[in-house]
Structure 1
Amino acid sequence: MKAIVRTQYGPPELLQFAEVATPVPAGNEVMIRLGAASVNPLDLYLMKGAPWDRIPGMKKPKPMVLGCDVAGRVEAVGREVTQFRAGDEVFGVTGFKGNGFAEYVCVAEERLAPKPVNLTFEQAAAVPVAAITALQGLRDKGRIRPGQKVLVEGASGGVGTFAVQIAKAFGAEVTAVCSTRNVHQAWSMGADCVIDYSKEDFTRSGQRYDLILAANGHHSIFDYRRLLVADGVYVAAGGGLVQIFETFTLGPVLSRMGRKKMVFFLAKVTRKDLDFLKELLESGKVVPVIDRRYRLSEAAEALSYLAEGHAQGKIVLTV
């Protein structure tokens, strides 16, 4: 089968569209004929490698097929699989091992769910990592409740577009922060207030929020803390390395100094949350936002576009 293979650390142009062995499902795995996949910052990280991996003289990486968000049709199942059978349409994630940018992929049963009936494969592939990050950030870490004032920074990206819609589905009053070219999109997703960060610094507005989800945070942790109400929660789900490091190291300390909570987290994709999202998607309360579509063979171009940091929603690969 054809797949997108990383043979060395570096930029997207080093990726190869190559022939690799077709996988065979293990006992708990489902073999999928891919309909579509989507690209994520995780793919960029695996493509480039950690800084220490790129030191001259370090061991070369093993060839690896990139990609984790997938949607497609079940081709075969392992002997332990009970929830799916050949012909079922599914969506989910491969996990941190990649393997999603290929014509066929094997995925553990617990990381898959039935595809929402009203979505195409492309739309379904845009959902898992970004939407679950938004869901768990708002619900599990942010403890979102109806009527709360919620601010989503980075509202036009993959996580942000889902966060705005999911927060509205939970009954929150949502403020979306984005650039000028994405203002209309934020309104169309149901935001109650939209702040164009090129014209207004929301950290100096004087407004206070019950919950801040930084899908793409670029301010100091102290700026976010100042914007919270007395028992508010700040959740860092993405952004600059400085901001992530601040939240990871200072967040626990600041959280013990009063009732405001400062949290950094990484999402964990589960069947339960995929099913929860399936209901939201089928009800029309949440709609995937797709910026661009590329063929599987054009994965390098898709990743280059993602790396620019200006995507309006998700970037999808079609097979």
Structure 2
Amino acid sequence: MEPITIVLFVVGAVIALFVFLYLFPVNLWFTAWLSGAPVSLINLVLMRLRKVPPALVVNAMITSTKAGLKITSNDIETHFLAGGHVNNVIKALISADKANIPLDFKLATAIDLAGRDVFDAVQLSVNPRVINTPPVAAVAKDGIQLVAKARVTVRANINQLVGGAGEETILARVGEGIVTTIGSAVNHKEVLENPDRISKVVLGKGLDSGTAFEILSIDIADIDIGENIGAKLQADQAEADLKVANARAEERRAMAVALEQEMRAKAQDARAKVIEAEAEIPKAMADAFKSGNMGIMDYYRMQNMKADTEMRESISKPKGDKK
């Protein structure tokens, strides 16, 4: 046999060995068997063909078996093919089992596939989290604004993680409860004297309904006095009323000016008519002379009477009155 043939034979044998060990992961099969979580070699080969990492499944099987969990390789493989995080689910199940939290494999995979971190949820059930609310401004009945900050202690509600609302809903509901409680107070002093009143009222509303959390406590961290909203609103209303009153007064003044101008026009018109009528007197007297209805003596008597009347009027006027 030629040397090149021997080399090719050896290379082919090595390649065949690697292909065999890849398709038939004997070491994983042996490790699973020694760990008490046996997986058949055929199943490991089928996992390769289905593009499922056999090492991931075997390690998950060994970990769950050592923790006393009963999970089959088919369950793990199915969850991996569905796009789940196998190691995260296994860790969550082990943590829940040690903490006596009821959590089965089906619910854990559902939570994982829903996009939530199931391991973090289990940790949150064991170690509650404190959520700080942003400053919430509300106005008491006396018009004084109060700005409150609260600390909400929550823990995960495992059964509500699928489809339950998140932290944003909790914060929104707590803020709404704070506004309602402060708004129902007769004056701001009541709230400052008893801040726990807010906690009791808000906590009694069942704000965690339909959420992925269970509210353990609501503590008011700080309350500050804001603006006097009532006085500001009254000042704004008074300013608005003043503008309305000024507008109405200006309207009445404009109407009065217009009426005065109208009366002046009427007076001018009346004077014009009087002057026009006086202009007709000489014509009437001329017609009377022509028609013989009035003689020269009548005219003199009329002039005398007119002069006498003017004299009497001048005598009756007080001194200094030149009109």
User: If the length of structure 1 is used for normalisation, what is the TM-score?
Assistant: 0.20
Q: Which has the higher strand share?
A: 1
Which is bigger in relative contact order (C-alpha 8 A, separation at least 6)?
1
User: If the length of structure 2 is used for normalisation, what is the TM-score?
Assistant: 0.20
Structure of larger gyration radius: 2
Q: Which has the higher helix share?
A: 2
